[in-house]
């Protein structure tokens, strides 16, 4: 077993939830060997073609990662590991929310604008129908240029931003990828609604945290209204200009929003979760052209964090 490979205990936690068929009437290459190859690339940021030979053909490893990023397998594995932790009472439901900007490598640009991938070699259209079409699952929405693939332009060039929520033990609960210039407050609702921790038995998955802490980037009316509507206690500092505007209105400005200083001190868990994610070099720098593949890369990194804690 090499450095960074799955241990026997970690493999046993994942094995029951792995796909058993590739929908092509063929046999999967050994899942454990391929997953070790994917995690090696996520951790080191090495090019797919330069994967060590012990992981098998590089294209097999890449295609498995691309396929599982497209069909949601990585997210399902993450949810199952989270469900086991929740059943053991190991999730701290005082959640923090934040985002981080990631520099996109020049190789991340230039994805084809056809989001469905329906073109074959030579420019021919893929007109297959019936059962042959299920061999290649539909890709998630994307394409249409850099913006459609979660690439934004700042002064330093192409950037990507991923928004996340983390529990009280610095482990990511949900992830969303957007262009680098996207405002944080616009993604509070999608990030919180993506939290989905299944129950080990019957029952609905848990989607609601006990409380939410966030910085001033989320201090606006729509964010606070959304949290109040869901009856989620929140600790968000008030912006200076918002405070001045409220004071100018006098009694019409209403009461100041509640703020728990002791709860806000625990917001460092989201910063530590970001640092743990960025220890994976394929997350700290984006090399993937497709948004959904990069999201799968970040989700695989989050999965390793949950397996190690």
pLDDT digits (tens, 9 = 90+) for 168-203: 999 999 999 999 989 999 999 999 999 999 988 788
Q: How far is 182 from 90, CA to CA, in rounded Å?
A: 33
Is 213 in a helix, a strand, or coil? strand
Q: Which H or E run includes 95?
A: strand 94-104
Report residue 180: phi and psi, to 5°. -65, -25
Q: Which residues pair with 4 in a beta bridge?
A: none
Work out the average pLDDT over 34-58.
95
- Three-point CA angle 22, 23, 28, nearest 5°: 20
Number of neighbouring beta carbons within 10 Å of residue 50? 9
Find the range with the poorest average confidence among 18-27, 135-144, 152-161, 259-268. Answer: 135-144
CB 147 within 8 A of CB 179: yes
């Amino acid at each position: 077993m090499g450095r960074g490979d799955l241990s026997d205990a970690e493999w046993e936690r994942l094995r029951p939830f792995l796909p058993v068929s590739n929908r092509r009437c063929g046999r999967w290459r050994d899942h454990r060997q391929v997953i070790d190859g994917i995690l090696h690339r996520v951790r080191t940021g090495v090019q797919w073609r330069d994967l060590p030979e012990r992981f098998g053909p590089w294209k097999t490893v890449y295609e498995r990662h691309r396929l599982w990023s497209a069909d949601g397998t990585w997210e399902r594995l993450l949810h199952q590991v989270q469900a086991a932790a929740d059943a053991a009472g190991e999730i701290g439901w005082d959640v923090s929310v934040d985002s981080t900007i990631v520099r996109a490598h020049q190789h991340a640009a230039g994805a084809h604008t056809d989001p469905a991938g329906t073109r074959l070699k030579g420019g021919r259209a893929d007109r297959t129908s019936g059962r042959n079409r299920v061999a290649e699952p539909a890709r998630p929405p994307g394409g249409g240029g850099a913006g459609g693939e979660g690439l934004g332009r700042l002064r330093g060039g192409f950037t990507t931003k991923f928004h996340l929520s983390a529990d009280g033990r610095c482990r990511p609960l949900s992830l969303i990828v957007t262009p680098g210039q996207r405002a944080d407050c616009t993604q509070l609702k999608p990030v919180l609604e993506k939290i989905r921790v299944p129950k080990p038995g019957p029952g609905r998955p848990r989607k609601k945290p006990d409380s939410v802490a966030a910085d001033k980037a989320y201090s606006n009316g729509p964010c606070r209204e959304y949290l109040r509507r869901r009856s989620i206690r929140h600790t968000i500092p008030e912006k200076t200009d918002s405070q001045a505007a409220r004071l100018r209105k006098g009694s019409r400005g209403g009461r100041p929003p509640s703020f728990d200083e002791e709860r806000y001190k625990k917001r460092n868990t989201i910063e530590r979760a970001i640092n743990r994610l960025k220890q994976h070099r394929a997350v700290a720098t984006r090399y993937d052209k497709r948004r959904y593949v990069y999201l799968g890369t970040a989700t695989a990194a989050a999965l390793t964090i949950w397996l190690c804690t």
